[in-house]
Structure 1
Amino acid sequence: MAPMLPAPRAETPSLADVLTGALGAILGESGRLALPPVRSAAVLMIDGLGMSALSQHSGHARRLLNALPSRGGSIESGFPTTTASALATLTTGLSAGEHGLVGYSVLDRARDRVVKQLSGWDDDMRPREWQPHNTVFERAAKHGVDAVIVGAERYRDTGFTEAVLRGARFEAYGSVAERIARGVALMRGSERRLVYVYVPEIDMAGHAEGIASALYTARLDELDSALRVLDAPLPADAGVLLTADHGMLDVPPHRRIVVDAGSGLWDGIRHVAGEPRCLHFALDDPAHAELVRDRWLDAEGSRSWVVTRGEAIAAGWFGTVRAGVESRIGDVLVAARAQVAYYDERTASAQSLSMVGQHGSFSADELRVPLARWGAFAH
């Protein structure tokens, strides 16, 4: 008997509520997070920081943990638990099926190819058409709220930035401490302001060496030290939230499953998209989706959910799926349940095979992320 499919929990706050809630607090609107009215708000986005990792390394994140309320101290990322999808959900307030960034890499069926959503933008992918909805920053500007992004210079002019971060002015700072300090400094003054600060260093450490590594804890120490700037009182009408786009879990080498190039599992599969813990298959003939699903279920059903696109959509994995987005989702999907990751021998690189920390699927390690609060939002 196949395991019951996971489904989003509509009653649980998610990333869709965070930045929209912060803007709502500035505009005096109520939201799911029940934030009080403020003049200015900031959201600190810590890539790759799940609640399970925080629990494991509590001694390295005391300031952060002290800012977690006893109730409502965590939320859900949303599916898939990958940066491109999660950040688009954060900055639009929409599910992956609505904003259209449905994975780390997705199917561009019109051009018969797979494209990466963080770095694969070219002249054939127009960010404002691929993701046509207004961002929270564009909405802020319409209401006279100054919207500011604080991040590393390399993110300033990317296609992904135009797709999901447009509408804000970009300020580049180097270190984690500099970025967070600038974000907090922008809370002071008389302007109405919405600030977004992006910190990717913890995610990078997790991928490279794992969440159990000394590198990961060093980056967590660095983050907690940078949060020292929040020890000083904020203006009474300013609030700060800290969250993450997803968590991760360590996948040891013997659980990184490389499917042989000649394996019958690849029969009928034209393209492989997604990421190692959430594969999307585009088939030569979509009418054979159930045959491919059943073949993968026989081989991997004990440790992964294997579904057709229709089954995934019916289960609510991507939320409401707007017209034009359905074709970006695989004809068949394989979402890991166990501590495994899948690789195609024909395309796997040494770098991808060396990745320790992984994410993309439905485990609590991947889904549960913190929601810390300071200033007016702490009350």
Structure 2
Amino acid sequence: MLPSESPTARSVVGVAEDLFAALRGESATLPRAESVVLVLIDGLGAISLRAHAGHARALTAGMAKKDVATSVFPSTTAAALTSILTGAWPGEHGLVGYSVLDRSRGVMVNQLSGWESAGVDPASWQVAPTVFEKAAAQGRQAFAVGVAAYAGSGFSRATLRGAEFVSAASPGDRVAAAYDLAERHPGSLVYCYLPEVDKAGHRHGIASRQWVSALEDVDAALARRVPPGVGVIVTSDHGMVDVPAHKQFVLEAEHLAGVGHIGGEPRMLHVYLDPDADADGVLARWRGDLAGAADVGTRAEAIASGLFGAHVTDAAASRIGDLLVVSRGNGAVYDGTAPDQRSRGMVGQHGGITPEERQVPVLRFGAFAR
């Protein structure tokens, strides 16, 4: 059985609205700020941050027990980052996983890097207003500071609409640029994206020296003095867990009868059935094949439990798999018949529902510091 989403838990979905309220001087939790900066450290879970506090002294110096929020489901960048940058749940903005099926064309869409190859228009695929468009509607300037290679990507065009993009090479340069923009443009909203921790985790795992080094670099960047009057929130889209080789569960051809496409990612698969498949029979078989390794539920169960948010649009519902496969513990499930098996080389992974994946820090600096 898939879990239910708590309607009362603090969620990353509300972070942007907290910043707007602080700009208006109307926030119940944040002091008023002249400008605000939202720093997003991709892939940094609250549990792994606390476990490595000695390598992240700037980040954890004022971190209280309550300085956490819950990421969305699935706990993956496409879904969670879009929720943070729109203030909408995946069921509303429609990016319900790493890769999903466009049922109208029978085409799989990689929602991070495959927009162009799949022939998808970001403006019509992701229709929720971004926080930058909301800022512009309020007469505020909006900026997004990130890596140059991401400036014109389909994902950026889906999530950064309304922002002026500014590129900088290193984490330190990006934070410096974000703080400078906020200081020079009173009333503005500035977003700063730091992907280095996530990349190191995928490649080497969160137990690696490479991951610790990436965390130290980000921590050093955020040790920089915040300009007066600028409020800074530092958060993340998700955490991750290390998946050892012996916890890789590989599905071969005999397991895949009745399955037309597999999307999502190994920690949370979207399984799309053939039109003439015996859905109940496939569900029972998958539950038996993956007993103890993963929970298998249906699209209807996931929507009813609120996993994708209280409201799910027709477009979003069409992209959710007929079956959802959520790995337990630190395991992952792979399609052994897929031509590309590179994902089996990833150490750090996410997408599931463990606290390590879904609990993220929400830290306050500058005008927001306690």
| TM-score (norm: length of structure 2) | 0.96
CA distance in 1, matches of 2:264, 2:92: 17
Q: Is the 2:82–2:93 contact (alpha carbons within 8 Å) kept by the matching residues of 1?
A: yes
Identify which range, 302-311 or 94-103, moves more after superposition.
Answer: 302-311
Q: Is the 1:151–1:198 contact (alpha carbons within 8 Å) kept by the matching residues of 2?
A: yes
Could you give the per-residue CA deviations for residues 48-104 of structure 1, whole angstroms, max 9, x where no partner exists?
000121122111011100132x24311111111000101110011111010000000
How far residue 29 of structure 1 moved from its aligned partner, in angstroms, is: 3.8
Q: Is the 2:50–2:60 contact (alpha carbons within 8 Å) kept by the matching residues of 1?
A: no
CA distance in 2, matches of 1:109, 1:189: 46
CA distance in 1, matches of 2:262, 2:21: 39
From 18, 27, 48, the counterpart of 1:21:
18
Identity across the alignment (%): 44
From 101, 108, 114, the counterpart of 1:114:
108
2:89 is the counterpart of 1:90? no
Letter in 2 for 1:9: S
How far residue 217 of structure 1 moved from its aligned partner, in angstroms, is: 0.3
Aligned to 2:66: 72
Q: Is the 1:79–1:362 contact (alpha carbons within 8 Å) kept by the matching residues of 2?
A: yes
Residues 279, 190 of structure 1: alpha-carbon distance in 2 compared, 3 angstrom cutoff: closer
Q: Is the 1:271–1:282 contact (alpha carbons within 8 Å) kept by the matching residues of 2?
A: yes
How far residue 348 of structure 1 moved from its aligned partner, in angstroms, is: 5.4
Matches within 5 A, 1:145-294: 145-189=140-184, 191-229=186-224, 232=225, 234-235=227-228, 237-260=229-252, 262-263=253-254, 265-285=255-275, 288-294=278-284
From 1, 5, 8, the counterpart of 2:5:
8
Letter in 2 for 1:266: L
Query: How large is the Cα RMSD of the aligned pairs?
Result: 1.5
Unaligned runs of 5+ in 1: none
Residues 378, 113 of structure 1: alpha-carbon distance in 2 compared, 3 angstrom cutoff: same
CA distance in 2, matches of 1:182, 1:7: 40
Q: Is the 1:8–1:78 contact (alpha carbons within 8 Å) kept by the matching residues of 2?
A: no
CA distance in 2, matches of 1:256, 1:55: 27
Q: How many residue pairs are counted as aligned between the two chains? A: 368
Aligned to 1:335: 326
How far residue 124 of structure 1 moved from its aligned partner, in angstroms, is: 3.2
From 290, 294, 311, the counterpart of 1:304:
294
Residues 350, 273 of structure 1: alpha-carbon distance in 2 compared, 3 angstrom cutoff: closer
Q: Is the 1:81–1:246 contact (alpha carbons within 8 Å) kept by the matching residues of 2?
A: yes
CA distance in 1, matches of 2:57, 2:339: 39
How far residue 350 of structure 1 moved from its aligned partner, in angstroms, is: 4.5
| TM-score (norm: length of structure 1) | 0.94
CA distance in 2, matches of 1:202, 1:227: 14
Q: Is the 2:141–2:185 contact (alpha carbons within 8 Å) kept by the matching residues of 1?
A: no
Matches within 5 A, 1:29-48: 29-30=26-27, 34-48=29-43
2:362 is the counterpart of 1:371? yes
Matches within 5 A, 1:120-131: 120-122=114-116, 124-131=119-126
How far residue 254 of structure 1 moved from its aligned partner, in angstroms, is: 1.1
Aligned to 1:325: 316
How far residue 190 of structure 1 moved from its aligned partner, in angstroms, is: 5.5
How far residue 346 of structure 1 moved from its aligned partner, in angstroms, is: 1.6
Please give the secondary structure, in 2, of the residue aligned with 1:324: helix
CA distance in 2, matches of 1:129, 1:97: 15
How far residue 256 of structure 1 moved from its aligned partner, in angstroms, is: 1.4
How far residue 345 of structure 1 moved from its aligned partner, in angstroms, is: 1.4
CA distance in 2, matches of 1:103, 1:193: 31
Please give the secondary structure, in 2, of the residue aligned with 1:42: strand
Please give the secondary structure, in 2, of the residue aligned with 1:228: coil
Unaligned runs of 5+ in 2: none
Identify which range, 368-377 or 95-104, moves more after superposition.
Answer: 368-377
Please give the secondary structure, in 2, of the residue aligned with 1:325: helix
Q: Is the 1:183–1:196 contact (alpha carbons within 8 Å) kept by the matching residues of 2?
A: yes
